[in-house]
Amino acid sequence: MLSKRHSNRFNFLLSMMLVAAIFIMPLVTYAQDKAPINLPSKPRLVLQITVDALRGDLPRRYAHVLGNGGFRYLMEQGIVYTNAHYQHANTETIVGHVSLATGSVPAAHGMVANVWFDREQGRLTYNIEDARYRLLTAGADVDQKTEIDPTQKMAKVDGRSPAAILSSTFSDELAVHFAGKSKIFAVSVKDRGAVSLAGQSGKAFWFSKSSGEFVTSTYYYQQYPDWVNTWNARKRAMLYAGKSWKLLHSPELYLFGDADDREYETDFPGFGRIFPHPYGAADDKYFTTRLTLSPAGDELTLDFAKALLDNEQLGQDDVPDYLAISFSSTDYVGHLFGASSLESEDNLARLDRTLADLLAYVDKKVGLANTLIVLSADHGQPEVPGHLHEYGNKSAQHFDTHSLDKTPAIAALKKQFGIGEALIEAFFQPYVYLNRDLIREKGLDLAEVERVVAEELMKFDGVAAAISSSALHTANLPDTLLIRSVLRNFHPKRSGDIYLVFEPNVFISDFDGLTVASTHGSPWRYDTFVPVIFAGAGLQPKTISRSITPYDIAPTLANYLGVKPPSAAIGNPLIEVLGN
């Protein structure tokens, strides 16, 4: 037996050992748990490639016309997610680009549509217009959406900025994290394709069809850098004058090689429906527009991006830089000819060459091992109704939005409410706007008018859902996938009075004031389906079929670099990219 003295000493030592166990063991366990984790090193360059309207199946569908180094490199050497879908309802260009940039939905980032009616200003607003920041090039056009009823009030605002984006972007968070030392740039044919990804902190350039140059606004610069002046002085667009868009391969190699001319394709002035598609003379008023409707637009974007990469010395030190390139031609070609056309097939073959050129150049200047690459799209695209008719789908059609206020049912509502003027003031994708001044003048309840008009619109052939903003605001709606997608698109200050959803394969045919073969913008899977591919930076190739969203991209980039996620991000970091 221990003496009392030895017993006290033993108890004291035992107590000290227990205390030590409490405080030391967790530290040892923590160190043991953390030791095996191999955190990724920071890349010198983040290269975010967005292909406007690249539906998720198209790279594999047209793989037979692809070469090496472009899509094949990404699909064979990258982490490929084959089941990525947006979950908001309005799949338009600005909505998708800002969702990619912020990792969030339009209800949070605010870009609910390419255009929306600003009730305070009493006019239609273009998503990134900002009169405070004029374009640096005098007389340069702005990429303003013009699929607008000319009777509506819409000022042509010569100015651009990201001020209307309500959430921070990944590029914004990168700038903050590295104390402004990261170089951040975005380039696109479309102004909204560049401004969205550059965010508040980066710099954006886009193509002007009136000047044939890449331009920017005073939000970014007070004067152009010398290298931009040098590039613009070369007049690269003029090299296409008198030339044509020709097939890259012989016709028999293409899936649609024997289907060049279809009556439902858009016959844009001077461009035609069959190969070769002439660009026209340099002084033709549609010359630069035709460049954007063809692979030439992507080629010009690449040429400018390479000059930017060189002159701004991107990826040349240990502070990560960011370059976003949005290629727009796939969207324009899809609108004119459809996803299942010889033009779309050849456009993808030429885009593949453009991507291969880009990646080879980045490898030479920065090294693909030092570059984290992500490729995705802002939305998918549908098939053309005429093409679907060929396979027995007779329900595919175009919807005449101008008929909305002219049916007997709406006339009966006007009589019920004592309204003799237009009750439906306008339709701007995807919203119906009611004549609020008239409703107020008659002393009517807006929510009630919205409800009964929505009920009547539901009776239109081709309408899948008509959902009032009052109902969205109160969330007094059934919990369905479609309702959730419309809710994710709802912003109380920017959304219209009634959200109109057309049935699958029912479309409006207006695009930039032109009647076209195909339009996107729906919540259906053909418009939400996009590729998501990460590559470079030593990533090991994998193909992942589980469901993800493009909102996951920004949080993944942030997590990879140890940066906090954008302020409204809802996506989840992709574990395969993080190597965890």
185 Cβ contact list (under 8 Å, min separation 6): 198, 202, 203, 204, 205, 308, 312, 314, 322, 323, 324
What is the pLDDT of the chain when averaged over all its residues?
90
- pLDDT of the residue at 407: 75
Convert the pLDDT of each residue in 185-211 to its tens digit.
999 999 999 999 999 999 999 999 999
Return the domain boundaries, the chain: 45-390+523-578, 397-504
Contact 159, 134 (CB under 8 A): yes
DSSP secondary structure code for residue 533 in this structure = E
The CATH number that domain 397-504 falls under is 3.30.1360.150
Q: Which range among 15-19, 26-30, 244-248 has the greatest average pLDDT?
A: 244-248
105 Cβ contact list (under 8 Å, min separation 6): 87, 88, 99, 488, 489, 551, 570
- pLDDT of the residue at 141: 66
Tokens of 235: 């007049």
- Angle CA 250–254–255, to nearest 5: 160
- pLDDT of the residue at 512: 60
**Whole-angstrom Cα distance, residue 376 to residue 358?**
16
Bridge partners for 135 per DSSP: 217
Convert the pLDDT of each residue in 133-152 to its tens digit.
999 998 786 554 433 343 34
**Whole-angstrom Cα distance, residue 305 to residue 90?**
29
- pLDDT of the residue at 38: 47
Place of tokens 């406007």: 52
The CATH number that domain 45-390+523-578 falls under is 3.40.720.10
50 Cβ contact list (under 8 Å, min separation 6): 97, 100, 188, 193, 197, 324, 325, 326, 327, 375, 376, 377, 378
pLDDT at residue 130 greater than cutoff 80 = yes
Question: What is the dihedral angle through the alpha carbons of 401, 405, 410, 416, rounded to the nearest 10 degrees?
Answer: 150
End-to-end CA distance of the chain: 55
**Whole-angstrom Cα distance, residue 189 to residue 570?**
28
Contact 325, 358 (CB under 8 A): yes
Convert the pLDDT of each residue in 353-378 to its tens digit.
999 999 999 999 999 999 999 999 99
- pLDDT of the residue at 16: 39
Place of tokens 């237009």: 422
Neighbour count for residue 400 (Cβ, 10 Å)? 12
pLDDT at residue 50 greater than cutoff 90 = yes
- pLDDT of the residue at 337: 97
pLDDT at residue 410 greater than cutoff 60 = yes
538 Cβ contact list (under 8 Å, min separation 6): 40, 369
Contact 160, 225 (CB under 8 A): no
Q: Write phi, then psi, for 12 (nearest 5 degrees).
A: -65, -45
pLDDT at residue 510 greater than cutoff 50 = yes
Q: Write phi, then psi, for 266 (nearest 5 degrees).
A: -85, 125
Sheet holding 424-428, edge to edge: 424-428, 431-434, 498-502, 463-468
Convert the pLDDT of each residue in 264-287 to its tens digit.
999 999 999 999 999 999 999 999
- 10-34: average pLDDT: 37
Give percent of the chain above pLDDT 90.
78
- pLDDT of the residue at 421: 73
Convert the pLDDT of each residue in 458-477 to its tens digit.
999 999 999 999 999 887 78
Higher pLDDT, 24 or 508: 508
Domains 45-390+523-578 and 397-504 alike in fold:
no
Whether the link from the prior residue into 276 is cis, omega within 30° of 0, is yes
